[in-house]
């Protein structure tokens, strides 16, 4: 049983967790620099030239 569990543990891929953690930290830095407000300010405006009008 212990051998089987050890075998299963060996097959767990670590790379996805490192990737997610990396981007999570990146996103949190973005939040701390106030980028969320900038994204919101952009998203609540209709950018006419961005949709090919005007």
Partner 1 sequence: MELVRKWVQTILALLVNGSWSFPYTRTIYQGPLKVVCSPGLNCYSCPAATTYCPIGSLQQLMAGIRVALENGQNFFGLYVIGTMGVLGGIFGRLICGWACPFGLIQELLHKIPSKKFSIPQKLNYIKYGFLLFFVILLPLLIVDDFGYGEAWYCKYFCPAGTLEAGLPMLILQPSLRQTIGILFYNKLAIMIGFIVWSVLASRPFCRTACPLGAFYALFKNLKLVKLRLVEENCTQCKECHSVCPMGVKFNESPENAECISCLKCMDKACKFDAITLEIAGLPIGSRDKAGTRRPKQTDAII
Would you say 2 or 8 has its CB closer to partner 1?
Answer: 8
24-40 b/e (C-beta count within 10 Å ≥ 16 → b): eeeeeeeeeeeeeeeee
Chain positions contacting partner 1, by CB under 8 A: 8, 11-13, 15-17, 19-20, 22-31, 33-36, 38-40, 42-44, 46-54
CB of 41 to partner 1, least distance (A): 9
CB of 52 to partner 1, least distance (A): 4
Residue 48's contacts (CB-CB under 8 Å, 6 or more residues apart) are 54
């Amino acid at each position: 049983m212990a051998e089987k569990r050890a075998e299963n543990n060996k097959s767990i891929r670590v790379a996805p967790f490192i990737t997610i953690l990396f981007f999570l930290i990146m996103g949190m830095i973005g939040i701390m620099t106030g980028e969320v407000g900038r994204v919101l300010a952009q998203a609540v405006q209709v950018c006419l030239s961005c949709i090919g009008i005007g």
